[in-house]
Structure 1
Amino acid sequence: MRAILRGIRAHREPMALFLLALAVRLWRLTYHSLWFDEAVSAYWASRPAAEIVRVGLGLTLDKHPPVYYLLLRGWTLVFGPGDAAVRSLGALMGALAVFPVYALARRWGGRVAAGIVALSLALNPFLVWYSQEARMFMPAATFALLGLWALVRAVEDERAWAWLVFVVSTLAGVYAYLFNALMLPVAGLWWVMALARRWWAGQCGKARWLAVTGGASMAAVALGFLPLAWRAWTVSGVESTPGRAFADVGVTLWRLGRAFLIHRARLGPTGDLATAVGAIALGVWVLSALQARRRGPPGPGELAAALLVPWLLGNVLLTRDGSVFAEPRYWLFLVPFLCLTWGMAIVWLLARRRIWKKLAGGAILCAFLATYVVALPWNWRPETRRENWRAAARYIEAHAGPNDAILIHVDYVRTAFLRYYRGDQPVYFPFGGPVNDMEEIAPPLEGMSRFDTIWLVESHLEGVDDGRLVERWLGERYPLVTEQFPAGITLRAYAVRLFYPTLPSDVRPLDAELAPGMILAGCRLGEEEIAARDDVYHPPSGWLHVTLYWRRVGDPPEGARPRLHLIDELGQVWGAGLARERDVWSMHPPRSWPSDQLVRDEHDVNLNPVTPPGEYRLQVAVVGADGEPMGPEATCGPVRVVPR
């Protein structure tokens, strides 16, 4: 017990920074819905281990190797399949990255450098974001860091066990995420640098030991990676478009640097300034590295290799796949090394004798911390939400009728929707490949004409339905019921069945003649309580959904239209029905309505976002071209506006 307590006291600083990193990564862990990629992770984690290995090594059904999915499978077997459980593995792995980064910085720059670097890693918005994502990018980066830390322990402290940790961690990293293979040459260079230092120092015996043990470990990593590398090379390029090496290199570096520093924070010129400070700090580190002697202590050469080698290899890969630098998350494993270089640069300035250099170091440190403090909260703001499948599923559950159907487009995003959907309506997903013409999509859509409403849920249409043909086909035939816009998703409902012999049982009867020949038979409010503001479906306003049922008893006036107002007790208007081009009044003019049937008419009432909480009523009128009512108005029902 005393030994354990001594160990904790000896490592209290990295432990404290680890706990800080973990707390930040667990904060609002389920604020975002799982987006499509995360739902795929959860799906594979639910499959048998043998299937995960087979698919992961095949790299066709899924483009990522199996290690992360296997870890997630074991994790969810213990902690369950909920969103918090699925994401907590990444949060833990992201926080664990503090330890190898702290150890490397302590070895190369001292205690102050270690604290600055680990604090930077703990609070970096980019790393926090991807630690809260159920994907392999952050766990793979932690494996790479652990492997390189073990390599340093092996070559500098001659720890035999560290070679085993290096081999296992490095292979775990590349078998979790293929881009981690770009760090393999970095490991080789670190080993060669250490070997060269031994020879230059005249330590021939140690150099020979390092050559044998290191060579064997490097060979083990190479042999372990070879089958995956061969498979990746054979399947790569099938769907990719070649690019050009070093194309738009300046723009790419600036975009990556900005993402690595502030991620999704919309800071405008302040974000540009923060990125410039990061570039300046990187330049300061380069100057400090150039001042180090060729045979000086390790650190500068290793960091230069960790940053430059993957970037150079990535530009070579551009000639095979032009999307190599398309998303900053592909290069997440570089961010801890940027934190190391920034921290080392700050410490180098603080250690200078000239006061202006010390002040510059302090200013850069304050700038970094201020940037993180300002940018980090953007990870949990409505403007930066991930695809909100949770909200899409909840809306349909709340508003779909018993004879409705759901159409998912494109088919593979159904994994994300079905993770959250608990309704009874059937779900269809007929379109997986590219949609090119109307005749191709007509048969499956015509087969859905037996339903009252078709709920179209669309996402990831790029390259599959660029012309929005499915949406056009439905919109040309059926009036629009509603449209909602949770992040990354478009949700539209189309009224297939318009005519009813009697009022549905859940509709409030009114039987009010609002214009000559036009009787409002009944009304149904989709919500009796609603917030005036909304940041999920259609910011900034809340929408109240209303269903009206009309009866034609004569020849309605030309140009007649319904008007829906949300009014208070003084008659002030706080919300109005949205005008839509393709509603039932436009597609089926009232004079064409059958007189022996009720006509279904759907509306969304858009609230003023500053509507005070209180009691209101939904008022319906029929107006002419001049906007004036053609008869009396009817009250559809009371509505309570509640605080958000």
Structure 2
Amino acid sequence: MTQLVDSPPRASFRRAVIVLTLLAFGLRMIDIEARGIWWDESLSLFRARQSIPYILSNRIDIGETLTVDQHPPLYFLLLHGVIRLMGERDLALRFPSVLFATALVPLLYAMGSRLRNRRVGLLAALWGAISPFYLWYAQEARMYTMVTALGLAATYLLWRTFQGPNRRLSGLGFGITAAAALATHYFAVLILAVQAMMAVFLWRQHRAELSTSSTSSPTERPTLRRWMAEHPRVLRGGLPAAVILLSATGFVGNHIARLIRSHAAGRVYVPLHDMLIDALNAFSLGLTVSFRNMWPLELIFLALFGLGLWWAWRHPHREERHRQSIRAARGAAMMLLPGYFLVPILAFWLYSHYAPVYMGSRYIIMSSPAFYLGMSLGLDALWSRRRWVAGLLIAVLVAGMGYSTARYFTHEHYEAKEDHRSSALYVMANERPGDVILLTAPESIFAFRHYYRGQLDI
């Protein structure tokens, strides 16, 4: 197994991860109620207010108009419980997003450590902690940080199912978290597809390692039937849990296609290169800067990601003794890094030829952990040869992310997406008996009512 040179003790890394996790939580909580909720968030509030059967129906009734939400119910069920404990203030609505965005920090550390070493894990945790992209969606009452965290947790547990202790428990955990991700956002199926391909390589690597072990006999070499027999909890726990949750959310391919077609009105085809630029801009410096203005710095992020891919290919994590094991280890790494990053983007692009579906980088936020892991692997490669170069690049990238974060908190353009709170306060301050409130956009009624405490009918 690859060893670290002059590696600090494990406890030092754990303390650093705790500090980064607290930093992430603190950043995500700054001015969390400064911006009022906008239309998308008001839909989350509307669904969370309803009864559990209504939430499971995926309905959104706006006046006499009956619609079907394109998102499955798990996030709204969670928010349903939160607002009953904490009330409906903006902090309560956004708190689940904060928690899942914060959970990405230790998850990135765990996945990076599993992929290569603790230094890679710590670097990935650093990017997750200060990511302007994660900050943006941590302060939004939507399911995007939740599905990203669940997808990464499922990937980590899948890896542990083949390469770690407590494999049966890890397999059970994978089944549950993968199903939960799908019950949070339908597009998590794209990550599940990557995980399925990853599992093939992890299985082949596991089999090759045992086949070349000095303690294994031909009769002990693993087969798929033997592995399934040795992991009954995966079959009796994880897989049934996945089937039940998927059935409950109506998760079938035709259902997804129908939803996409029904919501495609008004959307336009987005070329592949625009999607890739969106991903690079969002995952690196976030949504408060444009690629056109910051492309030299963003290309450094991309170069480090590319270096990480090369490093993963040339230097597999384990010192394999069998050619099949080396190939399998490389395949698993390629599925985790470029596969996890690119497959969702390519899927959106291909399907957009049939029905436009892409609506911005939030649709591909699930791919972001692979980008941070690849970057960290590239920095690890530099660190082992030119520490001063790696240290300088880390400082530059941290400064770039800090600049974007400062713009998020201070630039007037990002004060609010839709300022329903100010509208409600203005009406409350100036209303008179006999006045009437008319909302020309019916979909805005939920957000306006959230802030309006006046005496007039809406």
Alignment TM-score, normalising by the size of structure 2:
0.83
TM-superposition CA deviations, 1:383-408 (whole Å, max 9, x none): 11221111111112112332322211
Matches within 5 A, 1:596-635: none
1:57–1:102 CA distance, 2 compared to 1 (3 A): farther
Distance across 2 between alignment mates of 1:9 and 1:350: 18
2:408 matched to 1:388?
Answer: no
* Aligned partner of 1:170 among 146, 153, 178: 178
- How much has 1:131 moved relative to structure 2? 1.0
Are 1:21 and 2:24 counterparts? yes
Equivalent residue, structure 2, for 1:68: 75
Q: 1:201 aligns with which of 175, 197, 209?
A: 209
- Indicate conservation of the 8 Å contact 2:439/2:445, yes or no: yes
TM-fit CA distance, 1:103: 0.4
Partner amino acid, structure 2, of 1:34: I
What secondary structure does 1:201 align onto? helix
Aligned partners of 2:373, 2:30: CA distance in 1, in Å? 25
CA contact (8 A) 1:281 1:364 kept: no
**Partners of 2:440 and 2:267 in 1: CA distance:** 30
- Is 1:150–2:150 an aligned residue pair? no
Given that 1:42 and 1:86 are in contact with CA atoms closer than 8 Å, whether structure 2 keeps it comes out as yes
Cα pair 1:155 1:210 within 8 Å, conserved? no
SS at match of 2:115: helix
Greater per-residue strand proportion:
1
Residue type of the alignment partner of 1:332: I
Query: Structure 2 CA distance, aligned partners of 1:73 and 1:8?
Result: 38
Q: Please tell me the root mean square deviation across aligned C-alpha atoms, in Å.
A: 2.8
Counterpart CA distance in 2 for 1:222 and 1:242 is 34
Aligned to 2:446: 415
Kept after mapping to 1: 8 A contact 2:73/2:184: yes
Choose the corresponding residue for 2:404, options 338, 360, 375: 375
TM-score (norm 1): 0.60
Shift of 1:323: 2.8
Larger mean CA deviation between 329-338 and 214-223 belongs to 214-223
Task: Determine which structure has greater relative contact order: mean sequence separation of CA pairs < 8 Å that are 6+ residues apart, divided by chain length.
Answer: 2
- Give the whole-Å Cα distance in 1 for the aligned partners of 2:338 and 2:60: 32
Give the SS at the match of 1:407: coil
1-side partners of 2:453 and 2:400: how far apart?
A: 41
Q: Name the residue aligned to 2:370.
A: 337
2:437 aligned to 388, 406, 410, which one? 406
Q: Which one is further off, 314-323 or 213-222?
A: 213-222
Does the aligned pair in 2 maintain the 1:140–1:177 contact within 8 Å? yes
Paired with 1:36 and 1:380, the residues of 2 have a C-alpha distance of 21
1:191 lines up with 2:199 in the alignment: yes
Correspondence for 2:274: 251
Give the C-alpha shift of residue 411 in structure 1. 1.0
Is 2:380 the partner of 1:347?
A: yes
Deviation string, structure 1 residues 319-348 (Cα, Å, up to 9, x no partner): 332132x21111111112211111111111
The alpha-carbon distance between structure 1 residues 30 and 243, as it changes in their structure 2 partners (threshold 3 A), is: closer
1:472 matched residue in structure 2 = none
2:168 aligned residue: 160
Return the alpha-carbon distance in structure 2 between the equivalents of residues 304 and 86 of structure 1.
34
Matched residue, 1:77 = 84
Choose between structure 1 and 2: higher helix proportion: 2
CA 1:219–1:155 in structure 2 vs 1: closer, same or farther (change >3 Å)?
farther
Q: Which runs of 5+ in 2 are unaligned?
A: 1-9, 212-219, 316-325
* Of 51, 54, 60, the match for 1:48: 51
Equivalent positions of 1:290-309 (< 5 A) are 290-292=313-315, 293-296=326-329, 299-309=333-343
Alpha-carbon distance in 2 for matches of 1:205, 1:25: 49
Secondary structure of 1:348 counterpart: helix
Residue-by-residue CA offset, 1:501-546 (whole Å, 9 max, x unaligned): xxxxxxxxxxxxxxxxxxxxxxxxxxxxxxxxxxxxxxxxxxxxxx
- Once the 2 structures are TM-superposed, how far is the Cα of residue 421 of structure 1 from its aligned partner? 0.9
- Matching residue's letter, 1:411: P
CA contact (8 A) 1:150 1:165 kept: yes
Which residue does 2:354 correspond to in 1?
Answer: 320
Highest CA radius of gyration, 1 or 2?
1
User: Aligned pair 1:361/2:368, yes or no?
Assistant: no
Pick from 280, 286, 310 the counterpart of residue 344 of structure 2. 310
* Number of residues of Structure 1 aligned to a counterpart in Structure 2: 415
1:240 shift after superposition? 1.9
